[in-house]
A and B are shown apart, each in its own frame.
Chain A
Amino acid sequence: MSGAAASGGKGPDVYVRPEFVVETLGEAEIGDVERKLSGLERAWNVNGVRKATILIGLVVAWQVYTVALDVEPLMFPRFSTSAEALWLSLIDSDLLRKIWFSVSTLLIGYTTGLALSAALVLWASAQRIGADFLSTCTAMFNPLPAIALLPLAMLWFGLGTASIVFVTIHSVLWAVALSTHTGFQSVSETLRMIGQNYGLRNIRYVMKILIPAALPSILSGMKIGWAFSWRTLIGAELVFGASSGSGGLGWFIYENSQNLETAHVFAGLFTVILIGITVENVIFRNVELRTVYRWGMQR
């Protein structure tokens, strides 16, 4: 091992070792070169399984807490009571109709908001003054909570669906427009040049290059817009849901809290949460899986 003879003053020379070549590589004595994971290990790798476990844990904690300490049901009903109230409202009362009322109002506001933001972004992409308009308006209106506009909306459009739609549009428009515009701006120069090279101009260029290339930002804007508008809608309904005699989910919650039906209030909250989760984790998630994930644009 003393091959590194110290010669000269620049430290040890290169230590020359004998070469070797492995003629036959040994058969697998390595053990687990490849092993199938056990059923439990595989199940734990599924996103949904882990999240469901967390949910079940929360529910159990809730139930144990309320039963063991015998909490006053008026203040904090048991999970079982709340679930029962939800089930009963679904089959007996008009909860389904209220859900539909809320969701349809939301869809009107959401789609109108998307259309308006599309128009705004197109203008912003075409002209500099449009871009200035968009960034100024977004800076002004995006931080403004939609609910703060509700009094004005009531003044202008009266106590009804129109006012709710107005504030919903407000909550969607700026978030979506901002993220779409940012997405367009960050489309790489190479892709832009490719689009022009193959003769794409104007609207065809926007549809075939800019929108797909900016889809990750557009989708995240749509998700944020969705969450904003859903919150705004429920909030607005809490304020004056029953004006037209047929309130939505917000009104269901408000009405039941007035009647001290706390379990039903929880049932209403469950519904709000469930719809929120469904849209986020089923609809948007599937769109993402089929587009941006599949294309490797987002992980």
Chain B
Amino acid sequence: MAEATRAAAGPAPAAAPTPILDVDGVTLQYKTKEHLITATYRVGFQVYPSDRFVLLGPSGCGKSTLLKGVAGYMKPVEGEMRLKGRGISEPGPDRVMVFQEFDQLLPWKTVRQNITFALINGGRCATGAEADDIARQYIRKVKLDRFEDTYPHMLSGGMKQRVAIARGMAMEPDVLLMDEPFAALDALTRRQMQEELLQLWEDTHFTVLFVTHSIEEACIVGSRILVLSPHPGQVKAELNAHHLGHEDVGGEPFSALQKRIHDMLFADRILEEEAAPHA
């Protein structure tokens, strides 16, 4: 697809910057009670500043595990992950995670306190007043001003995710990690949240690593898409999508990219099914 490669030469890269996040030949394994599972096998990719980098793949391709590795919750058995040149060894506030689960907000803190809690404990703010200021600013960004003193259990699912995103962004991490943050939302809210996320990105051009299993979401949200094959997750392709947004949905280039990714993942499944009887 020459079209896609030509598009890459467009506005995005400014004279080969240094990557913020460098994942190099990472193999991740975890144990269940009975099995040792290899989630990803020698996966490598680089995330550059202001990337909206999407990890895309069917369930079982290890994309969430990969994100947990980057977050520092899991250690790779092989390969290395470096953030700004430093090896990743444990979770830390320089890589803030936004989860899919609605219970990621601390139920005993109000919307604002959830953010100040992160700012103070994460070491971004020394004083409560400073944290309050920043928290208010980000609450306004996600349009929840009216709810800043509300406890999370009074909020809808979409609002909770907005708070979680505000909390993550307020930390101004080197990279914001998002693990299918909109997967548990209804279709209308999901669409709205994708738009809002892109608007927020327009504001500050933060770097985000975004996990999803939805091809459409990947094309809308992502600027670059890493396509992973399942069992175990291996890099299948890295594609550009920075030229596509909501307004392109249904259009020719959008559908083409969507179909291309779909074929990539689907071809795999056919091969697998063919291979299965022989195995």
Q: Is the CB of B101 within 8 A of A188?
A: yes
Which chain A residue lies CB-closest to B102? A190
Q: How far is the CA of A189 from the CA of B252 in the complex (A)?
A: 42
Residues of A252-283 at the interface with B, using a CB-CB cut-off of 8 Å, are: none
Q: How far is the CA of A296 from the CA of B92 in the complex (A)?
A: 29
Q: Is the CB of A197 within 8 A of B91?
A: yes
On chain A, the residues within 8 Å of B121 by CB distance are 198-200, 204, 208
Q: Is the CB of B153 within 8 A of A191?
A: no
Residues of B72-125 at the interface with A, using a CB-CB cut-off of 8 Å, are: 73, 90-93, 95-97, 99, 101, 103-104, 106-108, 117-118, 121-123
Q: A190-B101, A199-B122, A199-B123 are in contact. Are A294 and B151 (CB under 8 A)?
A: yes
Contact of B118 among A188, A198, A204, A295 (CB under 8 A): A198
Q: Is the CB of B122 within 8 A of A198?
A: yes
On chain B, the residues within 8 Å of A193 by CB distance are 71, 73, 91, 97, 99
On chain A, the residues within 8 Å of B99 by CB distance are 190, 193-194
Contact with A along B180-199 (1 / 0, CB 8 A): 00000000000000000000
Contact of A215 among B71, B92, B108 (CB under 8 A): B108
On chain A, the residues within 8 Å of B122 by CB distance are 197-199
Q: How far is the CA of A9 from the CA of B71 in the complex (A)?
A: 60
Q: Is the CB of B104 within 8 A of A191?
A: yes
Contact with A along B146-167 (1 / 0, CB 8 A): 0000011110000000000000
Residues of A whose CB lies within 8 Å of any CB of B are 188, 190-191, 193-194, 196-200, 204, 208-209, 212-213, 215, 291, 294-297
A/B interface sample: 21 pairs, CB < 8 A: A188-B101, A190-B99, A190-B103, A191-B103, A191-B106, A196-B73, A196-B91, A197-B92, A197-B93, A197-B122, A198-B121, A198-B122, A199-B93, A204-B121, A208-B117, A208-B121, A209-B106, A294-B151, A295-B107, A295-B151, A297-B153
Instruction: Give 9 closest A-B pairs by Cβ, nearest first.
Output: A296-B153, A196-B91, A198-B122, A212-B108, A198-B121, A295-B107, A190-B101, A295-B108, A190-B104
